[in-house]
Amino acid sequence: MSSLLTEIVLPQRPPDMPCPATVTDGDRRSLFIALEAVNDPRDPRGRRYPLVSILAAAVCAVMAGACTFAAVCDWVRFQDRTVWQRLGFTGRVPAATTVWRLLIRLDAEVLSQVLARWLRARASPVVVAGRRWHLVIAVDGKVARGARLADGRQVHLLSAYDTSTGIVLAQVQIAAKSNEIPAFTPLFKLVAAVLGSLKDVLVVADALHAQIGHAELLAAAGGHLMVAVKGNQPTLFAQLKGLPWAEVPVGVQTRETGHGRRETRTVKALTVKTPGGLGFPHAQQAVRITRTRTIKGKTTREAAYLTNSLPAGQAQPADLGTWARSE
C-alpha cells in the first residue's frame, strides 16, 4: 500500500524501479505540483525539510489510515529509505513535534482548496445514463470526532461535498449546529473558489437551510437549491402540506429490504403555476416524499416536504428521490 501510494502521488522514483503500467507521469506529479500553492510559514533559515514533502507524507499517511499527528509520523518512520527518497527526505525524517508545529501554522482554507482540486482532478463523477446530470452538492453539519478546541469544546464543521465523488469541496468551523445558517455564505464562497463558479450546481440541504438568503445567493450565482421544509418555516410548510397531493400521480416508488426492515419511498412532484408560485424564492417544484417503514411487524409512515428551484424537465421524480437522500 505504501509503495503504491508514493508511486501515484510523488514525482520521482529510483531509476532502477519499473513504473507501474497504470500510473502516468501526470498522476505521479500532480500532488507535488498542487501542494506548491501552499505558502510555507517558516523562516527560510530554519527549513530542514521541504514543505511539499511533509504535506505529501501527511496525505499518504492519512490515505493509509492515520488520523493523528503521531500516527502520521509513525507511518513515515516505518517506511523504507526508497519511500523516504520519493517523499523528498534524505537520511532522516521529521519528528512528530516538527510536523505538528508546521501543520498547525498552515492556512487551513488554502490547503483544503488545494487538496479538493487535486482530488476532483483525479476522480470521475458517477453519471446515470439517460438522465440530465447536475453537480449535486450536499451540505452537512457534523462534529469532528476526537477534535477539541483549547477550551475543551468539540469541533463543529459545516461541509459541502460532491455527492457523485464523495469529495469534500470545502468546510468551515462553526461554534455549534445553530451557527450553520450564517456559515452558509462563507462556505459557498470557498466552494465557488474550488469549482470556479456555482453555475448549474444543485445544493441539497436540510430544513435548517430553508432560508431566503441562501436561495438568493445561489440563484445570483447561477445555482439551484433543493431544501427540506419543516416547522421553522410554518407558512411555507403549511402551503406545501396543503397542496392537492391526492390528485398528483406517483412519480416514482422504490422498495428496499434488509436487516429486518422493509421501506417504501414514494415521490410526488408538483409544479405550482398559481400567481406568486410557492412562498419561497425561485422555487419551481414542490416535492413530497412518503416513507413507509415496517420493522418487526410495526409500520410507520412519514411525509417529507421539499422545494426545488430546478424545473421539472431538469429534475425528474427519480432524480428528486436520489438527491433528497443525500441531504
Q: What is the pLDDT along the chain (327 residues), one digit of tens a residue?
A: 444 555 555 544 433 344 444 545 554 456 777 888 899 898 888 788 889 889 988 988 888 888 888 888 889 888 888 888 888 888 788 888 888 889 889 988 888 888 888 888 877 665 554 455 678 999 988 877 666 666 666 778 899 999 988 899 999 888 766 688 999 999 999 999 999 999 999 999 999 999 999 999 999 999 999 999 998 899 999 999 999 999 999 999 999 888 778 999 999 999 876 555 678 899 999 999 999 999 888 999 999 999 999 988 889 999 999 999 887
Output DSSP code: residue 249: P
**CA 95 and chain centroid, separation:** 32
Residue 271 burial by Cβ neighbours in a 10 Å radius (0-12, 13-18, 19+): middle
CA atoms within 13 A on the CB side of 97: 0
The whole-number pLDDT of residue 60 equals: 87
- What are the backbone dihedrals phi and psi of residue 64, each rounded to the nearest 5 degrees, phi first? -85, 0
- What are the backbone dihedrals phi and psi of residue 238, each rounded to the nearest 5 degrees, phi first? -65, -40
Is residue 87 a contact partner of residue 56, using CB atoms and an 8 Å limit? yes
Mapped onto helix, strand or coil, the DSSP state of residue 130 is: coil
* C-alpha cell, 202: 444543485
Render 7-44 in DSSP notation, one character per residue. HHH-S---TTSPPPTT--HHHHHHHHHHHTTSPP-S-G
Output DSSP code: residue 199: T
Residue 311 to residue 324: CA distance in whole angstroms = 16
The whole-number pLDDT of residue 278 equals: 78
Residue 157 to residue 180: CA distance in whole angstroms = 9
